[in-house]
Amino acid sequence: MTWDFTEVVNPRWRLVAKEVTLAYWAPTHAAVVQLARAYRTPRALATCTRLKHLLFEWLNWLSDQGVLSLREVTQDHCQRFLALRSVVRDKHGRRLREASVSHKRAVVTAVMDLAFYGDLFTTDRYDPGFQPWGFAPPSVVAGWKKPGENKTPPVPDTILQPLLGACLYIVDTLGPHVVSLLRQVEARRPRTAPTVRRRPTFADMARALEEHRSGGEPLVELVETQVRQRLTAGWHPDDPLLRVSFQQLASRVGCREFRPPWITENLRGLTEETLNAVGLAKPWGRAAPTVPRADTQTPVPWTEPLHTREVLYLVAMVRHAALTVTGAVSGMRNSELSELLVGCRRSVEISPGLVRRSLASKIIKGQALGGLDDEWVVLEEVHRAVALAEELHRGGTVSLFGRVSYHSGYVSSLRPWVNGPAGRRLGLAPITDGQVNLRMLRRTFAMELAYRPNGMLAAKIALKHLSVVTTEGYTARPGGAQAKLLAEVNEHEQDRNLALALAEFRNYQQGIMPSGPGARELINFFEHVDGEIARQPAASPRVRASDQDLRNLLAKRAGTLHLGAANYCWFADPGKALCLKLAGTPNASRPLAGMCDSARCPQATHHPCHRTVWAETVDQNKVLIGSISRSRKGERVRLQAELDRAQRVLDEIDAAAGTASPEEHNADH
């Protein structure tokens, strides 16, 4: 990237612009460290580029106002420049809309930075006592209000499910065939054009046609743009040779070109005979192997015949599917995906049959120029997606995905292909309209791990394995990017636990009680909270009625909540946890969900939201018992015991949900 500082009209201010830009990039330099208001982390190149444009505009605007020295700048200049840049106008100067808060904040930042770094400047600077906007935070000056939570929305389920399902199908099922087809195209594509610069004779064309006839190979079909050119040139729409590529026939015998006027009556007749004998088709994928459809598993050819351009389009689409899997199932940021290079995959066998897979990347956000080397522990699905992207990488840079522009690839290739004829033929569910980007995928990833351990991603990906590899990445590099992702997951888990605890307290107030061994203790806690709510108005004029106050009362108990597949585990006392007793680890800090027996653990509760799981267990066990022969008595006894237990839990959930009051529920127990 080249910056032209001569765009600054005033020659004295060109050096000022250079000095402040260098200070952005070198916050640890001895001269910069001494500045009280200098930024302490390096600015990314993209951020500096945006500020550079605003800085140049500010300096040139001052020149237009007749300002010759920065010492003449006043707050009035700053306010008028901000007002000017707070409106978006068209090329004719007509007002279109109000500028975004982030843009106005950047404008204020560019103006203020010349005051923050003034002591570095050698040719000109603001007056030493001048403080633009009194050094108020740029976000405050721009009118930005801090949101209550992360404003990046997760990807809706109606988009996430078909998107992830399609991408995994493309990577795992179609990927190897696409690689093979690309290799065929590259092997057949001539490195240079044919050297023979002569008009092919009738004998040349006849020889090429005979090769098609003897091999049973269809003639090559023209691309649609060339067909339209022929129609424009006067070809009849019903001409049987309208879509036949004579150029391909000429290239077959080593001639560089073929022009339509060279089609003689003899050549036309011979070509029509060959066309009737072998047919017409696109050159690639004519005998495609079959793959199972995504919906019915019925075998179908993995692709229909394609032109060369369509093969390259397909390659771009598959690469974008690999990028989607990598981003959605690893949680990597856009900048970290951009730093993946060819050969970034790592595999270490930590024990026989147990392999840790990772990707070598860099942390860019908040780091010095060039970033910080980092490593992401990932699932096998992500490893396969990156391996596929490496095989489809076509020279150029060593960057695997290049500068990631997810939205453009999603809109131009991935979604149209999935929703088009090819996706329908392969049984892929259509992706509904809606925005998708890598930031949304990262937030969805964190929320899926935190909120729904048996949710949408679990339909295709083992979420418990996702949690394991994310934790492994944190353990391997506690200060790395995966640690920050895990921190986001933990924040979402806290919000989730509070929301679930609040929902169950509301159920309690409506007479819908929990069941299970830990139900009595949970009900007693809810009674205590209910009593606190009732006592507060009488004890003080302040009324404790808001949800936030209620969350404060529930926060400690919510911090002990862990979700099971069919229960809630209130892990308040590790000494009471049945799973830890069975495992012989009474001092563990978290429950062992894989060893949970919620029907016997004194800290487990069942709620109406778990009824479906227990009802399915009852139905499945009844079917299994009915299918077992009488000779297998031991198996029947074991399954009957599981059925009785599941039925008992199911009956308790139903009974508790119909309890009118805590007293009646306690009496039943």
Tell me what the mean pLDDT of segment 51-71 comes to.
Answer: 93
Q: Which of 339, 456, 342 is nearest to 388 (CA)?
A: 342
User: Using the 8-state DSSP alphabet, how is residue 421 labeled?
Assistant: H
pLDDT at 543: 45
Say if CB 455 and CB 448 are below 8 A apart. Answer: yes
Tell me what the mean pLDDT of segment 279-291 comes to.
Answer: 92
The 3-class SS string of 313-378 reads HHHHHHHHHHHHHHHHHHCCCHHHHHCCECCCEEEEEEECCEEEEEEEEEECCCCCCCCEEEEEEE
Q: In 466-625, which ranges are E strands?
A: 561-563, 568-570, 604-605
pLDDT at 470: 56
pLDDT at 464: 47
pLDDT at 639: 86
pLDDT at 95: 87
pLDDT band with cut points at 50, 70 and 90 for residue 660 = very low
Least confident of 406-415, 486-495, 552-561: 486-495
pLDDT at 476: 54
pLDDT at 659: 47
Say if CB 71 and CB 127 are below 8 A apart. Answer: yes
CA distances to 358, 514, 622, 635 from 644, rounded to whole Å, are 45, 20, 10, 14
CA distances to 211, 237, 263, 277, 523 from 274, rounded to whole Å, are 10, 20, 15, 5, 84
pLDDT at 499: 85
Say if CB 498 and CB 647 are below 8 A apart. Answer: no
User: Using the 8-state DSSP alphabet, how is residue 88 labeled?
Assistant: E
Say if CB 601 and CB 578 are below 8 A apart. Answer: yes
Is the pLDDT assigned to residue 66 strictly greater than 90? yes
Which one is predicted more confidently, 13 or 396?
Answer: 13
Q: Coil, strand, or helix at residue 290?
A: strand
631 exposure class (CB count in 10 Å sphere: 0-12, 13-18, 19+): exposed
Tell me what the mean pLDDT of segment 89-113 comes to.
Answer: 89
> What phi and psi values does residue 88 have, to the nearest 5 degrees?
-90, 125
pLDDT at 192: 46
pLDDT at 669: 38
| C-alpha torsion sign, points 198, 204, 208, 209 | positive
* Cβ partners under 8 Å of residue 156, min gap 6: 432, 434
The 10s digit of each residue's pLDDT in 475-505 is 555 556 667 777 777 777 788 888 888 888 8
pLDDT at 458: 44
Which one is predicted more confidently, 592 or 622?
Answer: 622
Is the pLDDT assigned to residue 668 strictly greater than 50? no
Is the pLDDT assigned to residue 59 strictly greater than 90? yes
pLDDT at 149: 59
* Cβ partners under 8 Å of residue 276, min gap 6: none
Q: Which of 413, 350, 345 is nearest to 379 (CA)?
A: 345
Tell me what the mean pLDDT of segment 579-585 comes to.
Answer: 82
pLDDT at 371: 78
pLDDT at 511: 87
pLDDT at 666: 42
Is the pLDDT assigned to residue 279 strictly greater than 60? yes
Least confident of 3-7, 15-19, 385-389, 443-447: 443-447
Say if CB 196 and CB 256 are below 8 A apart. Answer: yes
Residue with tokens 């991935």: 414
Q: Report the mean per-residue pLDDT for the chain.
A: 84
Tell me what the mean pLDDT of segment 523-545 comes to.
Answer: 69
Is the pLDDT assigned to residue 131 strictly greater than 50? yes
pLDDT at 196: 57
pLDDT at 661: 42
- In whole angstroms, give the CA distance from residue 176 to residue 284: 15
pLDDT at 191: 46
> What phi and psi values does residue 624 have, to the nearest 5 degrees?
-65, -40
pLDDT at 25: 85
- In whole angstroms, give the CA distance from residue 118 to residue 125: 5
- In whole angstroms, give the CA distance from residue 388 to residue 465: 22
Percent of the chain with pLDDT strictly greater than 70: 88
Percent of the chain with pLDDT strictly greater than 90: 35
Exposed e or buried b per residue across 302-331, where buried means at least 16 C-beta atoms within 10 angstroms of its C-beta? bbebbbeebbebbbbbbbbbbbbbbbbbbb
Tell me what the mean pLDDT of segment 566-580 comes to.
Answer: 86
Cα Rg, the chain, nearest whole Å = 34
Q: Which of 617, 598, 608, 618 is nearest to 655 (CA)?
A: 608
- In whole angstroms, give the CA distance from residue 430 to residue 436: 15
- In whole angstroms, give the CA distance from residue 221 to residue 306: 10
pLDDT at 472: 53
466 exposure class (CB count in 10 Å sphere: 0-12, 13-18, 19+): buried
User: Using the 8-state DSSP alphabet, how is residue 199 labeled?
Assistant: P
The count of other CB atoms within 10 Å of the CB of residue 583 is 14
Q: Which residues on neighbouring strands pair with residue 359, listed in sequence order?
A: 345, 376
109 exposure class (CB count in 10 Å sphere: 0-12, 13-18, 19+): buried
pTM of the model: 0.67
The 10s digit of each residue's pLDDT in 421-468 is 999 999 999 999 999 998 898 888 887 777 765 444 444 454 445 555
Q: Coil, strand, or helix at residue 92?
A: coil
pLDDT at 662: 40
Is the pLDDT assigned to residue 557 strictly greater than 70? yes
Q: Coil, strand, or helix at residue 445?
A: helix
The count of other CB atoms within 10 Å of the CB of residue 144 is 15
pLDDT at 456: 42
Tell me what the mean pLDDT of segment 103-117 comes to.
Answer: 93
The 10s digit of each residue's pLDDT in 339-366 is 899 999 998 887 787 788 889 888 877 7
- Here the tokens at position 392 are 């489809």
Helices (H), 26-119: 30-33, 45-64, 75-85, 101-116
- Here the tokens at position 89 are 């106008």
> What phi and psi values does residue 374 have, to the nearest 5 degrees?
-145, 170
